[in-house]
Amino acid sequence: MTPPSPAALAGVRVIEMGQLIAGPFAGKTLGEFGADVVKIEPPGAGDPLRNWRLIKNGTSVWWQVQSRNKRSVAIDLRAPDGQQLARQLIAEADVLIENFRPGTLEGWGLSPDELHALNPGLVILRISGYGQTGPYRDLPGFGVIGEAMGGLRHLTAEPGRVPVRVGVSIGDTLAALHGVIGVMMALYHRKVNGGAGQVIDVALHEAVFNVME
């Protein structure tokens, strides 16, 4: 009997620091294809998604979907001990996913330069409202804003009324899928072409704008 083939991303270790939608959706997608995803959550309540929308047996159903194929660990990234523990996990990882406000990792001593000095092959996916650079980088970035800035809410609007939400968090998931494409390209470049680790900088509004017709 021929043994089953390994999953496409078997052996790929992913550290997920994101919360709510965009970062975790990217981690979920990689995990569905066999990546070993370790999710870092803040101590206490953990990822806020645990308590969003429909609750069953004390936990969000959305959380159950978004967090399957992952292992979770509680780490306080604001504390020096937690930052050091994160470095130890990242040192052995292939991919890091984060969707904090730009500058957050740098404030924790976990900038891409510092992490690449620790792990030169690390692929870092950063998802934010407006990207890591530019005049809007420090503004809050949520899916609703990305959808508006990207032009989608203009298409769903009606004369004299406020724009209508699409019905799902499409801005976040579009950004996550763009991020996954970038991660796969960077992993391929590293494996096939001997390239070093790269930083994928995904902005919510750019991901939405990219699919506008």
DSSP-assigned states of every residue in 99-145: -SPTTHHHHTT--HHHHHHH-TT-EEEEEESS-SSSTTTTS---HHH
Q: Is 172 a catalytic residue?
A: yes
Cβ contacts of 51 within 8 Å, gap of 6 or more: 45, 60, 63
Residues in the chain: 213
> Which of 36, 47, 94, 172 does the annotation list as catalytic?
172
Q: Are 38 and 16 in contact (CB under 8 A)?
A: yes
Kindly give the pairing relationship between strand 36-41 and strand 70-74: parallel
Positions marked active-site:
172
